[in-house]
A and B are shown apart, each in its own frame.
Chain A
């Protein structure tokens, strides 16, 4: 169902840098902005990055986003234990009368 592809898992030790990729197509990432959501265990998703690389108020600057062509990335620098969560990329997709699509999700584990 998901049209945005992410690696199922990523991990790192505290303080390390972790990067999550998100691969799409010309109808979604290629022509629209990318957003990222963080979902801590047992909680609702939370907006982490919007418009490719913007952080909402309150999101630490160790989280950063980027986009190039039909792919996007989320980087977590200075990984902390509280960053252990599921991360989803998302974008508007212009196909099929328009729809909002989420990535397959990436589970980040802090070793």
Chain B
């Protein structure tokens, strides 16, 4: 069974850091680009970041550029999101999502989603 399981969320103070992880199983992880998508409470979906199969191509939403870093470890079938300088507006459910192809870009769409991990930024 193809599965994505996120972890690492929690309550954190503004300005602090948090690292999210996504464990993949049931498919050949290094054949696919991966993404993080978030959803603030009661709000819509927002793409956060994407990474190609070999980490050669990476992108970020303007709202997180310079503060968040996406990475992957293909040997461990894992995706990560390092979040620094967190703000209240980063409060959201963070989803890990599998792309249809090895690169991220035009033609991308997400065939598998995790259940999400909740990040709450508050003092």
Q: Which of A's residues lie within 8 Å of B, judged by CB?
A: 1-2, 31-33, 35, 37, 39, 43-47, 50-51, 56, 86, 88, 90, 92, 94, 96-105
A109→B111 CA distance, assembly (Å): 25
B27: chain A residues at CB < 8 Å are none
Q: Are B95 and A44 in contact (CB under 8 A)?
A: yes
Partner of B44, one of A35, A47, A103: A103
Partner of B105, one of A46, A47, A86, A98: A98
| Closest Cβ–Cβ distance, residue A48 to chain B (whole Å) | 10
Q: Quick check: is B12 within 8 A (CB to CB) of the other chain?
A: no
The proximity string for B residues 98-116 relative to A, scoring 1 for CB distances below 8 Å and 0 otherwise, is 0010001111111101111
Most buried by A among B95, B106, B114, B116: B106
Binding-face segment, B13-21, B55-63, B70-78, B79-87: B55-63
Chain B interface size, as a band, is 20 to 34
| Closest Cβ–Cβ distance, residue B94 to chain A (whole Å) | 11
A47→B109 CA distance, assembly (Å): 8
B114: chain A residues at CB < 8 Å are 44
Most buried by B among A44, A90, A105: A44
Q: Which 9 A-B pairs have the closest CB atoms?
A: A100-B47, A44-B113, A35-B109, A105-B44, A102-B45, A92-B106, A50-B109, A32-B106, A88-B45
A100: chain B residues at CB < 8 Å are 35, 47, 50, 104, 108
Q: Are A1 and B46 in contact (CB under 8 A)?
A: yes
Contacts known (A45-B95, A105-B44); A56 close to B111, Cβ less than 8 A:
yes
Q: Are B115 and A96 in contact (CB under 8 A)?
A: no
Q: Are B109 and A102 in contact (CB under 8 A)?
A: no
A33: chain B residues at CB < 8 Å are 106-107, 109
A37→B95 CA distance, assembly (Å): 14
B95: chain A residues at CB < 8 Å are 44-45
A45→B45 CA distance, assembly (Å): 9
A94→B106 CA distance, assembly (Å): 8
